[in-house]
Structure 1
Amino acid sequence: MAGLQEGVDRGGDGAGRRARARQLRDGDDLSLRAICAALEAEDIRPKRGNRWHPETVRRMLANPTDRPPTLQKR
């Protein structure tokens, strides 16, 4: 796992969290649990709560925006 990444969002709009998670999934070919551990090790916090969970990472990677599907404009 890589160390701290420059320019990674540590609690703002979520784009940095999602980008880093995608980088770990695609570039480093990590599992959801390993992505959770890497994000926590890099002090990148989830939008809510204190810990990353595999299901949270899966949903974040599946959703291209920060808005839940029920709140997206039609």
Structure 2
Amino acid sequence: MKILYFAWLRSKIGVPTETVDLPAEVATVGDLVEWLKTRSPRHAEALANSKVVKVAVNQEHVPYDHPIAATDEVALFPPVTGG
């Protein structure tokens, strides 16, 4: 799975993208975020407050209960504001 990080998530984690092999128990976006927190202290800090981390799967905004597959592209980013 390809994971993309944007804005301050990219800065805190230290990489713009990662390609990962998911454990079998990771089936939803929420599972993925929880699993990513275990990858490093930087991941844990950046993803500590999941309420402020938005997710897109294959360029579509999705909720944390959205199912994921190994072939998906997942983007994580902070809330976007505009006017």
Higher RCO (C-alpha 8 Å, min separation 6): 2
TM-score for both structures, normalised by structure 1: 0.36
More helix by share: 1
TM-score if structure 2 supplies the norm length?
A: 0.34
